[in-house]
Amino acid sequence: MLQVYSAGSHVVNIDESWIPETDFRRRRWVAKGGDNSMPERALSHRVNMIVAVSTEGHVWLSLTQCNTDENVMQMFLSRLAQVFTA
């Protein structure tokens, strides 16, 4: 990879991840010995991310609340390809 960088190539790394929850009310500070339980479980959405970071400092980001499947990844890659071919 160092040879690729030293040749001046533009490299883009792509990865996907997720934030497993978006409701953090149950993670709060309480007084010592206090009760940190909640009377009911709050349902929250999971946020999925696809991120592309280039060696030149460019970042392309996709945030969705749907499961990242083959179709979602193909759409991200096709939009990213448009950036490089436009």
Q: Per the domain annotation, does 39 fall within a domain?
A: no
The answer to the question of residue 5 being in a domain is: yes
25-57 exposure pattern, b = at least 16 Cβ within 10 A, e = fewer? eeeeeeeeeeeeeeeeeeeeeeebebebeeeee
1 within some domain: yes
Q: Does residue 28 fall inside a structural domain?
A: no
> How many domains is the chain built from?
1
Q: Is the pLDDT of residue 44 over 90?
A: no
pLDDT: which is higher, 48 or 34: 48
pLDDT at residue 46, as a whole number:
78
In a domain, 3, yes or no: yes
* Domain limits for position 62: 1-20+45-86
Dump pLDDT digits (tens) for 51-85: 999 999 999 999 988 778 899 999 999 999 999 89
d(CA 7, CA 4): 5
In a domain, 70, yes or no: yes
How far apart are alpha carbons 48 and 65 in whole angstroms? 6
Q: Classify strands 47-54 and 12-19 as parallel, antiparallel or unpaired.
A: antiparallel
Is residue 29, in this structure, part of any structural domain at all?
A: no
Residue 36 lies in a domain: no
The Cα 35–Cα 30 span in angstroms is: 7
68 Cβ partners below 8 Å, 6+ apart?
Answer: 16, 18, 48, 50
